[in-house]
Amino acid sequence: MKSRLMDILKGKFLVSEDAVKNWRFILFVSALAVFMIASSHSVDRKVHEIARLNDEVKELQNEYVDTRSIMQRMKLESTILSRLENKGLKQSETAPRKIVVLEGR
């Protein structure tokens, strides 16, 4: 048991007669480790991108709500009247009349 451990620590399994099998396995495990690390980094990048995009969506939603509320305030009759008073226009005191066109006359 002790001699086997020493052989492993000295690396004799890499230079022995059946070392080709060991090298193939070591290269396979190394390739899997590199693939796993690359996959992990890719996932991390995607997670950060998703978080950034979620923040951007929230910011754009807030901007949309602000713009919509400003637009609604601008469409109010009182706002329109106050802007037109500066130009000399005012609200008519008589109600508008409906014009009816009869066909055939």
* Residue range 50-98, pLDDT digits in tens: 999 999 999 999 999 999 999 999 999 888 888 888 888 888 888 889 9
pLDDT band at 105 (very low <50, low <70, confident <90, very high): low
- The predicted structure's pLDDT at residue 22: 77
Q: Please tell me what DSSP assigns to residue 96.
A: P
CA angle, corner 23, sides to 17 and 28, nearest 5?
150
pTM: 0.56
**Concatenated DSSP letters of 77-95:** HHHHHHHHHTTT----SSP
Handedness of CA 88, 91, 93, 99 (dihedral sign): positive
